[in-house]
Chain A
Amino acid sequence: MRRRAVFDNKVLPYALLTPQLLVTLVFFFWPAGQAVYQSLLLQDAFGLRQRFVWFENFQALARDPLYLDSAGRTLVFTVSVTALSMSLALLFAVMADRKIRGATAYKTLLIWPYAVAPAVAAVLLLFIFLPSIGLLGQALRRMGVAWDYKLNGTQAMLLVILAAAWKQISYNFLFFLAGLQSIEKPVIEAAAIDGAGPGRRFWSIVFPLLSPTTFFLLVVNIVYAFFDTFGVIDATTEGGPAGATQTLVYKVYHDGVKAADLGGSSSQSAILMFIVIVLTVAQFRFVERKVQY
């Protein structure tokens, strides 16, 4: 949709754009450019001199078993968080979309965790799962599980997945519910008259019609699990034990801030930037497609 230009002014539009563009240039483009530039440099051990090495940092990453491990872990983490929070949210949304008593109350009670910071959500769950005093941590131990996420990497991963997914359920729930409410009811009623039961109706009508929402949420959840869960990991396991919960984003922070390896950290940043760009383009393609129909 194109608007007929209504105002003519040589200066005003630029003046109005200046604050946004200034912030964008100083805090987005300049640092992003720096990250890409740094990723092509190699610093000596004392941080005194830099050498231009083209893609050596990337080649080093590709050979680095620690980095490849971290990439694999990020994949496990992302898939688990996305699958867990999306399937639970869909289940709750389908149930809350039915005309039952108290539906509004259920909705309110299910959406508030959206307001909780990932790091705070992580601390709430951490407290329940503390091995020595946590309610569930203790319960697990009484049942004979050697629960100690501080020593056991798999358990630590499980904890951060639970915390990250717990927080994301409400967001997915809201979107699934909005998606369900936009489905034309006569379509479902027609199926009901034809004798299709609730399960059949869901899988052959509702779920396919919901696919735009599902796809949108898929991308959003992957981005969330990749980037926004930094707080979850830092507040609970700090990437440990022995790097078992060190995702790619956490590794950029760890290598760059704690280990001061600028070139290595920057090339990791550059790779992450590439991943975000791919995800954003995927999402945007989807938005365009949706506008067309």
Chain B
Amino acid sequence: MVENRPWLTFFSHAVLIGGVLVVAFPLYVTFVASTLTLEQILSVPMPLIPGDQLLHNYGQVLAAGSSRGSAAPVGVMLGNSLVMALSIAVGKIAISIIASFAIVFFRFPLRNFFFWMIFVTLMLPVEVRIIPTFKVVSDLGMLNTYAGLTLPLIASATATFLFRQFFLTIPDELAEAARIDGAGPMRFFKDVVLPLSKTSMAALFVIQFIYGWNQYLWPLLITTDESMYTAVIGIKRMIVGGDAATEWNLVMATAMLALLPPALVVLLMQKWFVKGLVEQEK
């Protein structure tokens, strides 16, 4: 729009810079703290210029963990987080895309019933069925296993819904043509549906990767063995008692390591991520 209001432009910049500062300040402080010695952090006020302990702090948490709280190496935790995030993202996409394919491209008894059954799981987040779900997993002998960490979170009403919406936009003619050419349903799935779904899959992958990486309550419940902790859980286990007893330089280094992978995914795949997120609404 052609309209020149210098003061309003100035005001916009001021507000946005303020916003960026509010959002970035905690991250900056975390980064600085992760490069200092514990003594420097405890000296009030803490310096606001990065120190020279970066390699030392990150090296120590990756290889050995903290010395006062949990002593599990963060390198192992990051590995666990990666396995969990990848399995959840890939698993959700895989089982949702075939379920939606069945619901959209076949007609069979109970079709709508199954769709609603999947849809209703939206109303049952882990947080409301904590103890019984824990019991099921423990009865199945899946405590402290990757299966226990990922399987219960792998059903996805949102992904199924998203794929269904997308499949409904695939022209009937395509499926007709495939049938006339003698292609079976699975051939049609592999050669037509999968290639068309690439963008939706990428968008979902970003969102579900972050969802899996950032899980808190579930890994907290089912991992008792330090070697199965995820990075997000590990941070909390390093914070012990009083302000001065905790090795904040190491906690902050771990926090940086725990937030970098999902942040990078968001920044590098920004286009897909925004598309996928905003389309979940529809």
A45 contacts which chain B residues (CB < 8 A)? none
Q: Would B216 and A230 count as touching, CB distance under 8 A? A: yes
Total count of chain A residues near the partner, CB < 8 A: 98
Choose among B13, B188, B244 the residue that contacts A133 (Cβ–Cβ < 8 A): B244
Q: Would B98 and A127 count as touching, CB distance under 8 A? A: no
B175 within 8 A of A: yes
Choose among B46, B117, B172, B232 the residue that contacts A4 (Cβ–Cβ < 8 A): B172
A262 within 8 A of B: yes
B22 within 8 A of A: yes
A144 within 8 A of B: no
A153 within 8 A of B: no
B194 contacts which chain A residues (CB < 8 A)? none
1/0 contact trace for B85-112 toward A, CB 8 Å?
0000000001110110111111110010
Complex CA gap A119/B237 in Å reads 12
Q: Would A35 and B160 count as touching, CB distance under 8 A? A: no
Name the interface residues of A215-233: CB closer than 8 Å to any CB of B: 216, 227, 230-231
Chain B proximity of A84: nearest CB distance (Å): 11
Chain B proximity of A124: nearest CB distance (Å): 4
A166 within 8 A of B: yes
CB within 8 Å for A138 and B45 given contacts A100-B13, A127-B30: yes
Q: Would B41 and A133 count as touching, CB distance under 8 A? A: yes
1/0 contact trace for A24-62 toward B, CB 8 Å?
101111111011001000000000000000000000000
Complex CA gap A235/B123 in Å reads 25
Q: Would B155 and A20 count as touching, CB distance under 8 A? A: yes
Complex CA gap A28/B125 in Å reads 8
Q: Would A6 and B176 count as touching, CB distance under 8 A? A: yes
Q: Would B46 and A135 count as touching, CB distance under 8 A? A: yes
A98 within 8 A of B: yes
CB within 8 Å for A276 and B123 given contacts A120-B258, A133-B42: yes
B151 within 8 A of A: yes
Q: Would B124 and A20 count as touching, CB distance under 8 A? A: no
CB within 8 Å for A138 and B210 given contacts A6-B176, A120-B259, A277-B123: no
Q: Would B114 and A21 count as touching, CB distance under 8 A? A: yes
Q: Would B15 and A91 count as touching, CB distance under 8 A? A: yes
B73 within 8 A of A: no
The 5 listed contacts between A and B (C-beta, < 8 Å) are A12-B185, A32-B129, A115-B265, A133-B41, A133-B46
Q: Which 8 pairs across A and B sit closest by C-beta, in order of nearness?
A: A5-B107, A231-B216, A117-B214, A31-B132, A34-B132, A115-B262, A16-B102, A13-B106
Besides A13-B106, A19-B98, A95-B11, 17 other A-B contacts (C-beta < 8 A): A13-B103, A16-B101, A23-B95, A27-B151, A96-B12, A109-B24, A115-B210, A115-B263, A116-B214, A117-B213, A120-B232, A123-B251, A132-B243, A138-B44, A230-B216, A272-B128, A287-B282
